[in-house]
Amino acid sequence: MNRIATDPRLPQRISLTEQYLSLLNIRLFELFKSIAAQINAGADGFLGNVTTVTTAYTATQFDQVILVNNTGNIPITIPAAADTLNKRLIVKKISNNANTVTIGATNGNIEGAATKVLSTYLASSDLVSDGANYWLV
């Protein structure tokens, strides 16, 4: 009986370590692709995370626009200015009522004050952090 030669085109067995490394490479590629898309979107002028809230909200450093549709007076807490250096954050009141939105940072002031209050329909604050405080732009 003749022996059958091994076909070099068939996949060879790879170790578990090589499988994990291959999977890690695929996940890293997907992560870098996602980051590049976000950077390009920002460069093209697109806003990132737009969040609509109806009650008290604590923003993260990833929030960019917070639309507030409140039915009562509520606070919006924004991250410490030191954690958001050169970051822009917009807070807009979209509820047509007399209720207020009080914006306060966990650390740092807003235009020299501890808080900024939005009290009228469609009022907004466009904020930027210098690493120590927030400023209206």
Supply the pTM of this predicted model.
0.68
Please answer whether residues 52 and 69 qualify as being in contact, where contact means their C-beta atoms are separated by less than 8 angstroms: yes
pLDDT score, position 43: 64
* CA neighbours closer than 13 Å in the CB half-sphere of residue 126: 2
| Tens-digit pLDDT profile for residues 1-53 | 455 555 555 555 656 677 767 777 777 878 888 777 777 766 666 667 899 99
Q: Which of 97, 104, 103, 88 lies closest to 122 in space, CA to CA?
A: 97
For the segment 112-122, the average pLDDT, to the nearest whole number, is 97
pLDDT score, position 81: 94
DSSP string, 17-42: HHHHHHHHHHHHHHHHHHHHHHHHHH
Query: Whole-angstrom Cα distance, residue 103 to residue 94?
Result: 15
